[in-house]
Amino acid sequence: MSGSETDFSIGGVLRYEGGRVLPCDHRPVDEYPLTLTVNGVELATLVSSPHDLGALVAGFLRMQRLVSVPGDILSMGICADSGVADVRIRRELPARLTPTLTSGCGTGIVFNIPVPEGEPGAGVLPAHSPPRTVSPTEIFGLMDEMASLAEGYRGQGGIHSAAVGENGKVMLFAEDIGRHNTLDRIAGAAMLKGIDLSGKVLATSGRVSSEMAGKAALLGIALVASRTSPTTLAVRLCREHGITLVGYLRGKSFNVYTHPERTLARI
């Protein structure tokens, strides 16, 4: 069979193993573009996984500081077949929006949106809960439970996961092809369910970049833990906003990049 004839649907994938080429029934992970229209304005196309799109849209709007409570969303209609989300929100959109493409998988988007004085997010980040000690056992427990919930990764690969919790137990969990989308999903679910994330611990399977650190700060997260590396900008943001940043968490070890006093008894 020539390359042009190869069918990469289920049953059409080939695997090289032990010197042999064998059929493989692996299915590539789904990538789904969702065009988001807000108050009649086409705002963005979210490249994501195709499940639970309501939480994704709500979280995206929350992270852009366009909504802060469920009542700010007047209506939301999502047509999965056509890949369109039509949302009406209480707040008027600024006349000009400046999008910034981030380093998130599938390319994340943030907007420089001015927030009127006196509204939530008007130039200040939410106050964090009083600092508390987060033990290594709690961090390992949360990461292990997140891994056990990551059915999408075990089934197909190519998917990121994130979880928020406390005392080593998961409160909210999300999976998506974009690591920035996993945090938007958690932010949306928390807002819709009335869950305060201030002072909680965030575990993520992917790299911690500046947009991930910024979103964690907006949610009041106290500690971010990843199995892989943070970026230099993420380290700076976490240091500035009082977030403990943990990376390369593997086995029973990890690196601490900022505010080690929260998790290490001795240095």
Q: Count CB neighbours of 208 within 10 A.
A: 28
Q: Is 122 inside any structural domain?
A: no
In a domain, 130, yes or no: no
Residues 161 and 87 in one domain: no
Residue 267, pLDDT score:
39
User: What's the confidence (pLDDT) of residue 13?
Assistant: 73
**Residue 129 covered by a domain:** no
- Both 69 and 163 in one domain: the answer is no
Instruction: Examine residue 125 and state whether it is found in any structural domain, yes or no.
Output: no
Residue 120 belongs to some domain of the structure: no
Please report the pLDDT score of residue 117 as a whole number. Answer: 45
Domain that holds residue 11: 1-28
* pLDDT value for 155: 61
111, 128, 150: which is the final residue of a domain?
Answer: 111
Q: Check: CB of residue 230 under 8 Å from CB of residue 208.
A: yes
Distance in angstroms (rounded) separating the CA atoms of residues 78 and 61: 15
* 121 part of a folded domain: no
Query: What pLDDT, on the 0 to 100 scale, is given for residue 233?
Result: 87
CATH code of residue 78: 3.10.20.10
Mean pLDDT of each 10-residue bin along the chain, 267 residues long: 40 71 75 90 87 93 91 94 93 72 53 48 44 85 90 66 92 90 94 94 90 90 92 90 91 89 66
Asked, for residue 92, whether it belongs to a domain, the answer is yes
Give strand ranges (E) for the chain.
Answer: 13-17, 20-24, 32-38, 41-48, 73-79, 84-89, 99-101, 109-111, 160-166, 169-176, 201-204, 223-226, 244-250, 253-258
Co-location of 44 and 151 in the same domain: no
- Whether residue 61 is found in the same domain as residue 171: no
Q: Which of 251, 218, 216, 213 is nearest to 232 (CA)?
A: 213
238 is catalytic: no
**How confident is the model at residue 172, as a pLDDT?**
96
Considering the domain architecture, whether residues 243 and 155 belong to the same structural domain is answered as: yes
CB count in 10 Å sphere of residue 23:
9
**CATH number of the domain where residue 164 is located:** 3.40.140.10
Same-domain status, 244 and 153: yes
Active-site annotation holder among 24, 79, 105, 238: 105
Could you tell me if 143 and 245 lie in one domain? Answer: yes
Q: Can you give the pLDDT at residue 93?
A: 85
Q: How many CB atoms lie within 10 A of CB 24?
A: 14
pLDDT for position 121? 41
**Domains contained in the chain, number:** 3
Residue 172, beta-bridge partner list: 164
How many Cβ atoms sit within 10 Å of the Cβ of residue 112?
Answer: 11
Q: Are residues 12 and 45 in the same domain?
A: no
158 and 170 part of one domain? yes
Q: Are residues 74 and 152 in the same domain?
A: no
Measured between alpha carbons, how far is 234 from 231 in angstroms, rounded to an integer? Answer: 5
Domain boundary among 63, 78, 111: 111
H, E, C per residue of 159-213: CEEEEEEECCEEEEEEEECCHHHHHHHHHHHHHHHCCCCCCCEEEECCCECHHHH
Is residue 55 domain-shared with residue 72, that is, in the same domain? yes
